[in-house]
Amino acid sequence: MQESSKIFFSNHAVKQMFEREISIKGIKEVLINGEIIKKYPNDKSYPSTIKLAFSNKDLFIYNKEEDSFIVITAYEPSKEIWEDDFKTRKK
């Protein structure tokens, strides 16, 4: 992500960010420093990924042609759903 990159937020992402007290700054940190833990190359609009960065996780779509990100949702991963590495979903 570059400083000039555009970030768009879905209504769902805004609601989740508000409810979970996740800041735009936190989202930017995930986009810049987060580790990609899952890729969805055939997603509907654009290829998308799930990124993990310490305490926050977000699902976003990156549109390379527009150099923009579309944040779909944001949340802190729970050990009830994720293994200790927060990269593997529990079965």
The domains of the chain, with CATH numbers, are 6-75 (3.30.2310.20)
State yes or no: pLDDT of 67 exceeds 80: no
Residue found by looking up tokens 């580790």 in the block: 35
Distance CA(12)–CA(4), nearest Å, equals: 24
Question: Model-level pTM greater than 0.75?
Answer: no
Please give the pLDDT value at position 15. 92
Q: How would you classify residue 78: left for phi > 0, otherwise alpha for psi between -120 and 50, otherwise beta?
A: beta
How much is the mean pLDDT over the chain? 78
Q: What does the pLDDT look like over 25-52, one tens digit per residue?
A: 888 888 888 888 888 888 877 788 888 7
Distance CA(29)–CA(65), nearest Å, equals: 22
Confidence of residue 66 (pLDDT cuts 50, 70, 90): low
